[in-house]
């Protein structure tokens, strides 16, 4: 009996020592995660988020992040050694706020450390957690990384997969960061703030749903020039550049106009990229999405080509005077546009209506595409 008691004590002692050896110090966790996290910023616009390297296919590096960080955007990826990488693919979950971004590896094996994925089912209230990510994206070329400590405050089922809440002082730019336990294993993907408390998606949700992720199209064009023109308030030049980019995206610069088929299949990511720039630099006055809202308010949409709606739309945007025919706008579009910030709401961009689409007869088709792309 005595020997059994001694054996039990030794066993418990061994388990205790093993547990102590598994637990990492705060410094060890910080050093581990710094080798894995990735800065995700946006081409031609501010803001961004965080991702982290996880195990994946050979020949690529696989970055796990939150879907809302990457959806419908052109991305820049930067690893902790300040190397930039071109996005190879973006996959998003249709049901959860999760996404996977991949970039090509130099060799068969990704040179960056993959974080170990833990058991989110074992998380308990008051457990200590660690979060590391990029603060506010890239500011003035300087990258700032933040690491915070918190404790689990609630376990619940929320929309888009969120299920673990914690008390931690996270900041803008840290969405998509890994949430680690005391053993430096990922138990959640950070991404949401409600009433001062932060929420993450349990890593189990990612592990059980990887096969359901779907590929997302990536914007085809570079919009640096459009951004610079809009930032400088050069509205007329920006309007022409928008036309040029539409032709470039469709791959028909030589023809100088888009067919109805081109319009119906126009890249949604590129429309969103152009729209975000127009909306941002006009403080919400101009942009495809603003035009779409007015179009729908007037009764357009659902492939509605009612001439009355077209006329009301052109008049509301100040593209033609009441009583003029719609065709008059097509003939004199550049002279009928007002290229300054005081133009009517949604007045710009305007050249696409009369000069790019179907030699001036595809304007409504583009508006329907704005609706289809959910601008």
Nearest Cα to 32, choosing from 187, 183, 198, 190? 183
- Chosen CATH of 1-216 out of 3.40.50.300, 2.40.10.120, 1.20.1070.10, 3.40.30.10: 2.40.10.120
pLDDT at 102: 96
pLDDT at 22: 63
Give me 136's structure tokens.
């506010």
Query: What residues does each domain of the chain span?
Result: 1-216, 224-372
pLDDT at 8: 41
Helix (H, G, I), strand (E, B) or coil at 98: coil
pLDDT per residue rounded down to tens, the chain (375 residues): 445 444 444 444 444 444 444 688 888 888 888 889 999 998 777 788 999 999 998 999 999 999 999 987 788 899 989 899 999 999 999 999 999 999 999 888 999 999 999 999 999 999 999 999 988 644 445 668 889 999 999 999 999 999 999 999 898 889 999 999 999 999 999 998 888 889 999 999 999 999 999 998 888 888 889 989 999 999 999 999 999 999 899 887 666 778 888 888 889 989 988 998 999 899 999 999 999 999 888 887 655 555 678 788 888 998 887 777 666 555 545 667 899 999 999 999 988 876 666 655 677 788 888 988 888
Give the residues across from 197 on adjacent strands.
Answer: 194
Q: How far apart are CA 46 and CA 48, in angstroms?
A: 7
User: pTM to 2 decimals?
Assistant: 0.72
Q: Following CA atoms 314, 320, 321, 326 in sequence, which dihedral angle do they give, to the nearest 10 degrees?
A: -80
Non-local (6+) Cβ contacts of 30 within 8 A are 130, 132, 147
Q: How far apart are CA 136 and CA 171, in angstroms?
A: 7
Nearest Cα to 33, choosing from 153, 129, 106? 129
pLDDT at 325: 66
pLDDT at 24: 80
Q: How far apart are CA 363 and CA 326, in angstroms?
A: 11
């Amino acid at each position: 009996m005595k020997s059994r008691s001694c054996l039990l004590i030794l066993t418990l002692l061994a388990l205790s020592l093993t547990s102590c050896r598994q637990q990492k110090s705060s410094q060890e966790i910080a050093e581990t995660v710094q080798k894995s996290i990735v800065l995700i910023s946006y081409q031609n616009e501010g803001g961004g988020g965080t991702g982290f390297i996880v195990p994946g296919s050979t020949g690529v590096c696989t970055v796990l992040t939150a879907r809302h960080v990457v959806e419908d955007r052109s991305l820049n990826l930067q690893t902790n050694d300040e190397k930039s990488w071109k996005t190879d693919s973006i996959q998003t979950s249709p049901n959860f706020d999760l996404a996977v971004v991949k970039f090509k590896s130099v060799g068969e094996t990704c040179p960056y450390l993959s974080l170990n994925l833990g058991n989110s089912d074992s998380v308990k209230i008051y457990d200590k957690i660690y979060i590391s990510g990029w603060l506010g994206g890239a500011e003035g070329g300087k990258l700032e990384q933040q690491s915070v400590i918190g404790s689990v405050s609630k376990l619940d089922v929320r929309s888009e997969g969120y299920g673990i809440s914690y008390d931690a002082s996270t900041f803008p730019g840290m969405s998509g960061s890994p949430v680690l336990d005391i053993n430096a294993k990922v138990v959640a993907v950070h991404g949401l703030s409600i009433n001062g408390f932060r929420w993450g998606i349990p890593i189990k949700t990612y592990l059980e749903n990887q096969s359901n992720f779907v590929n997302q199209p990536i914007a085809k064009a570079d919009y640096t020039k459009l951004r610079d023109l809009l930032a400088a308030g050069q509205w007329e030049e920006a309007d022409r550049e928008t036309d040029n980019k539409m032709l470039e995206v469709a791959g028909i610069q030589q023809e100088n106009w888009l067919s109805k088929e081109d319009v119906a299949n126009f890249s949604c990511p590129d429309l969103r990229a152009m729209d975000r720039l127009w909306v941002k630099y006009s403080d919400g006055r101009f942009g495809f999405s603003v035009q779409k809202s007015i179009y729908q308010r007037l009764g357009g949409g659902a492939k509605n080509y009612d001439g009355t709606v077209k006329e009301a739309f052109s008049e509301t945007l100040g593209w033609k005077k009441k009583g003029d025919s719609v065709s008059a706008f097509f003939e004199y579009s550049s002279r009928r546009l007002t290229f300054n910030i005081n133009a009517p709401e949604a007045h710009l961009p305007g050249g696409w209506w009369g000069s790019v689409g179907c030699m001036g007869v595809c304007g409504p088709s583009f508006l329907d595409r704005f609706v289809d792309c959910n601008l």
